[in-house]
């Protein structure tokens, strides 16, 4: 039995000094592959340097996070579009985040669309971050529908109706993380109705730490806690959760 963490920011400064140990703990916990979504150019070098040290275990991506979209966003997208030498497994994370600010809402939408188009040109999946922006996300997906994008809605917390609606806009998976272990989290109920063959496991570390570690820094070695909770909610074995979600991740990210 092994697991894949499809969303972990192990290059974040919260891991400064013990990122290598965090990778080791994850591998010993059975988390044998980890996807590293990109944030913006400020942390990109740290991400590629870490991924280089653990080839075949850590897989980097390329993206501009919606909360990093501001003045100069277009130049940063152009820089990403012209990067051809780095081996990446996905475009992201990208998407829309209106929770913190709507100041750059229009720019976020343009940057999101440009990144979906980039992914489709490169034949790569997209890692989507959506927060307080569901309708605006669907508006952008509508404009890209003819491109048949593939990817994952990371940290999915939407309703079963939102999940069903997604299937009309391409080939989409949902990333389920630590929130599923929280008491009263609606996703714990929704996950019963989402087919296992559409689910990816993720930590989003260092954020969204699962129970019983809430309040501490999150890390990829906690993935089995998330898998166990999904197994309980669905009334199946953790082995089945591990094998189906790992297969999903390997297909989507070609790893
Ligand atoms: Ni993230």
* pTM (whole model) above 0.95: yes
Dist. CA 217 → ligand 1 center (Å): 14
pLDDT tens, per residue, the chain with 255 residues: 999 999 999 999 999 999 999 999 999 999 999 999 999 999 999 999 999 999 999 999 999 999 999 999 999 999 999 998 889 999 999 999 999 899 999 999 999 999 999 999 999 999 999 999 999 999 999 999 999 999 999 999 999 999 999 988 989 999 999 999 999 899 999 999 999 999 999 999 999 999 999 999 999 999 999 999 999 999 999 999 999 999 999 999 999
**C-alpha to C-alpha distance for 94 and 179, rounded to whole angstroms:** 20
What's the rounded Cα separation, in Å, for the pair 82 and 185?
41
54 CA → ligand 1 middle, Å: 20
9 Cα–ligand 1 center, Å: 7
Among the listed residues 70, 71, 50, the one whose alpha carbon sits nearest the alpha carbon of residue 8: 50
Span from the CA of 7 to the centroid of ligand 1 (angstroms): 6
The CATH number linked to 99 is 3.20.20.140
Q: Residues 188-213: pLDDT tens digits?
A: 999 999 999 999 999 999 999 999 99
* Domain tally, the chain: 1
pLDDT for 10-50, tens place per residue? 999 999 999 999 999 999 999 999 999 999 999 999 999 99
User: What distance in angstroms lies between residue 207's CA and the mean position of ligand 1's atoms?
Assistant: 8
Domain that residue 14 falls in: 3-253
**From ligand 1's centre to the CA of 121, what distance in Å?**
23
Q: How many Cα atoms within 13 Å fall on the side-chain side of residue 221?
A: 13
């Amino acid at each position: 039995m092994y697991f894949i963490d499809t969303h972990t920011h192990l290059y974040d400064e919260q891991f400064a000094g013990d990122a290598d140990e965090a990778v080791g703990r994850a591998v010993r916990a059975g988390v044998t592959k980890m996807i590293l979504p990109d944030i913006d150019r400020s942390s990109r070098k740290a991400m590629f340097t870490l991924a280089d040290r653990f080839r075949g275990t850590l897989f980097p991506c390329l993206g501009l996070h919606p909360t990093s979209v501001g003045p100069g966003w277009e130049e940063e997208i152009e820089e990403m579009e012209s990067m051809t030498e780095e081996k990446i497994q996905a475009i992201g994370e990208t998407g829309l985040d209106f929770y913190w600010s709507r100041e750059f809402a229009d720019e976020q939408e343009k940057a999101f669309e440009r990144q979906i188009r980039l992914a489709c040109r490169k034949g790569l999946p997209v890692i989507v971050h959506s927060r307080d922006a569901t309708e605006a996300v669907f508006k952008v997906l509508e404009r890209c529908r003819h491109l048949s994008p593939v990817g994952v809605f990371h940290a999915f917390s939407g309703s079963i109706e939102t999940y069903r609606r997604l299937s009309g806009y391409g080939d989409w998976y949902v990333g389920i993380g630590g929130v599923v272990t929280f008491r009263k989290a609606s996703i714990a109920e929704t996950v019963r109705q989402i087919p296992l063959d559409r689910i990816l496991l993720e930590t989003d570390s260092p954020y969204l730490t699962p129970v019983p570690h809430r309040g501490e820094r999150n890390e990829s070695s906690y993935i089995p806690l998330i898998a166990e909770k999904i197994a309980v909610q669905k009334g199946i074995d953790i082995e089945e959760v591990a094998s189906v979600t790992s297969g999903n991740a390997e297909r989507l990210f070609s790893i």
